A and B are shown apart, each in its own frame.
Chain A
Amino acid sequence: MRDWARVAREELARRGLDCRDEVATELGEFLDDACQELILSGAEPNRAAVLTLERTGDWSQLARRLKRLEEVPMERAKRLWIPGLVNAALAFGLLRAATAAGLEPFVRLQDHGALVVYWQWLPALPVFAAVAAWWSARRGGLAREQLIAGLFPSLAMLTLMLLGFVVSNTVEATMAARGIGRVPVPLGVQLPTLGLYLLAWVVVPGVLSLLGTLPLVFSARHRAVA
Chain B
Amino acid sequence: MITSNVKRGSAELAVLSTLATAPAHGYELARRIEHETGKALRFTLASLYPLLYKLEADGLVKGEWRSSEGRRRRYYLLTPKGKARLRPLREEWQAFIGAIQKLAALADA
Do the two shown chains form a genuine complex with each other?
yes
Where the two chains meet, the residues of A that have a C-beta atom closer than 8 Å to any C-beta of B are: 22-23, 25-27, 29-31, 33-34, 55-59, 61-62, 65-66, 68-69, 72, 74-75, 226
Decide: A27 and B49 in contact? CB cutoff 8 A.
yes
Cβ of B22 within 8 Å of any chain A Cβ, yes or no, is no
Answer whether A59 and B53 are a contact pair too, CB < 8 Å, given A25-B72, A29-B25: no
Answer whether A34 and B57 are a contact pair too, CB < 8 Å, given A62-B45, A65-B50: no
Decide: B46 and A61 in contact? CB cutoff 8 A.
yes
Decide: A31 and B45 in contact? CB cutoff 8 A.
yes
17 A–B contacts from the bound complex (CB under 8 Å): A26-B74, A29-B26, A29-B27, A29-B74, A30-B27, A30-B45, A33-B28, A34-B45, A56-B46, A57-B44, A57-B45, A57-B46, A62-B45, A62-B46, A66-B50, A69-B57, A75-B57
Q: Which residues of B contact A34 (CB under 8 A)?
A: 27, 45
8 nearest A-B pairs in the assembled complex, by CB-CB distance: A57-B46, A57-B44, A65-B50, A33-B27, A62-B46, A56-B45, A30-B26, A30-B27
Answer whether A69 and B72 are a contact pair too, CB < 8 Å, given A56-B44, A62-B45: no
Q: Which residues of A contact B27 (CB under 8 A)?
A: 29-30, 33-34
Decide: A66 and B49 in contact? CB cutoff 8 A.
yes
**Complex CA distance for A6 and B3, rounded to whole angstroms:** 40
Decide: B50 and A57 in contact? CB cutoff 8 A.
no
**Complex CA distance for A68 and B53, rounded to whole angstroms:** 11
The binding surface of chain B is classed by DSSP as helix
Interface residue total, chain B, C-beta cutoff 8 A: 20
Cβ of B81 within 8 Å of any chain A Cβ, yes or no, is no
Decide: B26 and A58 in contact? CB cutoff 8 A.
no
Specify the chain A residue showing the minimal Cβ separation from B42: A55
| B2 to A: closest C-beta gap in Å | 25
Query: Contact mask B15-34 → A, CB, 8 Å, 1/0?
Result: 00000000001111010000
Q: Which residues of A contact B57 (CB under 8 A)?
A: 69, 72, 74-75
